[in-house]
Amino acid sequence: MRTELMKKAGPHAHYASPSSPRLSAGWITELSYSDQQPGMMQMLLLPLLQQLGLQSRWQLWLTPAHKLNRQWLVQSGLPLEKSMHIAHSDRHSTVDAMSKALRTGNYSVVLAWIHYELNDDERRQLEKAAAEGQALGLIMRATDSVNLTTRPANQLKIHSTLFH
């Protein structure tokens, strides 16, 4: 079956090895979450973070003034010994910190809670950094922190119980 997939995908397709998952190119994506849908975190985000946790690289959590819940990390099967947390406070420091972290290549994923819409320059900066570091940048945003009339109708909503 893999041979058939390779023929369809072409000679330049890259397949991840289950024993060594690594992004072949970095990217940025946004996840909107809501306290009204508690199961989404477990179903969507957690498996991704667990898979990325198999890499030798770290996971960086850039959060608002909340403290990351270490017990939740352990119970969720996320690598506590490869998880780093930095609390952020303002727009420029968050985007800059996320960009620098993505660019290093030391992190498989950088999660940042950003409550505003990124402008085009900020998005390009983060996309370039993610590509350079071959990392995933996840921008987490509560649905009540943005003007929903400017958001696409097809949003992913995830409940966040990461903080205590």
pLDDT digits (tens, 9 = 90+) for 11-27: 333 333 334 445 568 89
Going along the chain from its start, the domains and CATH numbers come out as 25-150 (3.40.50.300)
Q: 25-29, 89-93, 109-113: which has the highest mean pLDDT? A: 109-113
With the CA atoms of 120, 116, 162 and 29 taken in that order, what torsion angle do they form, in degrees rounded to the nearest 10? -20
Query: From CA 163, how far away is CA 63, in angstroms rounded?
Result: 9
pLDDT digits (tens, 9 = 90+) for 56-83: 999 999 988 778 888 988 998 999 999 9
